[in-house]
């Protein structure tokens, strides 16, 4: 995949150490243990609907794609983490706009596993929780960029930290 690179050691361990320690990540299917991480300030957590269409997922990808491309410089990388799977860094300026048929395969939509997108400097990102059915968006740059083109599927705010 052009513009994508698989994370290898020690970078892989370094970024997951941040997720576990810095974000208080504690994966669990138990409702009593949700949200499964310490939501950063500022952040907004959106509840995903129980069912969605491919068009809604395409709009979600496009909205995040647009926002991330606007807040990253040409050549700047972003982490795309998929819990217990291969994880990647990618350069938004060098990869195609994702759709369901040409997926952005990691990092935003919690399709069966935790999905995490992080700025390399860890100043913004997303934390997708598959069992709670939520996406937490954090950091002023990403929150501000999404406000102008918020995907329809993110219409229900369930938590907010300002």
* pTM greater than 0.75 (yes/no): yes
Cα–Cα distance for residue pair 34/11, rounded to 1 Å:
27
Which residue segment(s) compose the domain that 129 sits in? 4-161
pLDDT at 158: 94
Task: Report pLDDT digits (tens) over 104-154.
Answer: 556 788 888 889 999 999 999 999 999 999 999 999 999 999 988 899 999
pLDDT at 162: 85
Number of domains in the chain: 1
Structure-model confidence comparison of residues 52 and 98, the more confident one: 52
């Amino acid at each position: 995949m052009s513009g994508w690179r698989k994370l290898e050691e020690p970078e892989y361990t370094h970024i997951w150490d941040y997720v576990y320690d810095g974000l208080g990540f504690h994966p669990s299917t138990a409702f009593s243990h949700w949200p499964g991480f310490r939501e950063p300030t500022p952040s907004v957590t959106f509840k995903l609907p129980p069912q969605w269409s491919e068009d809604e997922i395409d709009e979600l990808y496009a909205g995040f794609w647009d926002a991330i491309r606007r807040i990253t410089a040409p050549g700047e990388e972003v982490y795309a983490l998929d819990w217990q799977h291969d994880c990647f860094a990618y350069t938004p300026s060098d990869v195609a706009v994702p759709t369901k048929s040409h997926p952005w395969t990691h990092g935003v939509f919690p399709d069966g596993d935790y999905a995490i997108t992080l700025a390399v400097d860890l100043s913004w990102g997303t934390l997708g929780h598959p069992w709670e059915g939520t996406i937490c968006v954090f950091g002023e740059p990403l929150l501000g960029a999404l406000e102008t083109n918020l995907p329809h599927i993110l219409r229900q705010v369930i938590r907010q930290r300002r």
